[in-house]
Structure 1
Amino acid sequence: MADDGASGGFAGRLGARVEASDDGSARITFEVTDEHLNPAGTLHGGVLATLVDTAMGTAVRSATGEDDVPATSQLTVTYLRPGTTGPLVVTGRLRTRGEHLTVCEAEVEQGGEAIGHAVATFALLHR
């Protein structure tokens, strides 16, 4: 992860920024622009799925060793209301950690309202 807070990989190319990551939690900020909208003029569901997956994966990495690599094995996203252009915040947190599987949860807020919720299971791969 870069020192400037930019997320790496695909989420970083979208513009996601890791604002905080510690002890099984992570906070990501994102500026929704017109290029992130679907034909209906609302935030594309795939962008939101990428953001929650990234926040939860970052939360897992903050609570595991450098040799543990979280790999998403299941992801469920609930879209609560349409997202629009402007800033949003994604908060991910580790809920339950087993030896090989970890369960996480994420909330997405925009303009003070919840627009999405996600639950994911991550397999912990060992390098």
Structure 2
Amino acid sequence: MIGCQLISAENGVAEVGMPLTPELLNRGGKLHGGAMFSLVDTAMGLACSSAHGFDQRSVTVECKINYLRAVDSGDVRCVAKVLKAGRQLLVVEAEVLQGNKLLAKAQGTFAMT
């Protein structure tokens, strides 16, 4: 629904793109934080799947995001990387980027189900 597009996912790293559409903007005309968070959560989940195999599922246990820069047009992308893949829990970090500009930084924990 938010237009996430898988760019790559392998070896615990995933990259997902998202075009900014009018539906994703907040009242101030900037990318809504919830839409950006959904992009982050999607990329992190795919990074987990690429680390443990796409036949296994993972769920978000917790996630923290720092919004660093607002954006109002163009495409954004999220690169997520598994920092630690345990048997039951994975720790993942992510960056949301537009070109070389860092828009947000996140870290989360995922559980294998």
- Bin the TM-score by the shorter chain: over 0.9
Q: Please list the CA deviations of residues 32-61 of structure 1 after superposition, one character each: whole Å capped at 9, or x if unmatched.
A: 122111011111000000000000100010
Q: Which runs of 5+ in 1 are unaligned?
A: 1-12
Counterparts of 1:1-16 in structure 2, within 5 Å, are 13-16=1-4
How far apart are the structure 2 equivalents of 1:39 and 1:82? 13
Query: 1:6 — aligned with what?
Result: none
Q: Which runs of 5+ in 2 are unaligned?
A: none
State the secondary structure of the residue aligned to 1:55. Answer: helix
Runs of at least 4 residues of structure 1 off by over 3 A?
Answer: none
Amino acid in structure 1 at the alignment position of 2:58: P
Shift of residue 66 of structure 1? 4.3
Counterparts of 1:48-63 in structure 2, within 5 Å, are 48-63=36-51
Shift of residue 67 of structure 1? 4.4
State the secondary structure of the residue aligned to 2:57. Answer: strand
Normalization by structure 1: what TM-score? Answer: 0.85
Query: 2:109 — aligned with what?
Result: 121
Query: How many corresponding residue pairs?
Result: 113
How far apart are the structure 2 equivalents of 1:93 and 1:123? 15
Residue identity (%): 37
Normalization by structure 2: what TM-score? Answer: 0.95
Query: 2:34 — aligned with what?
Result: 46
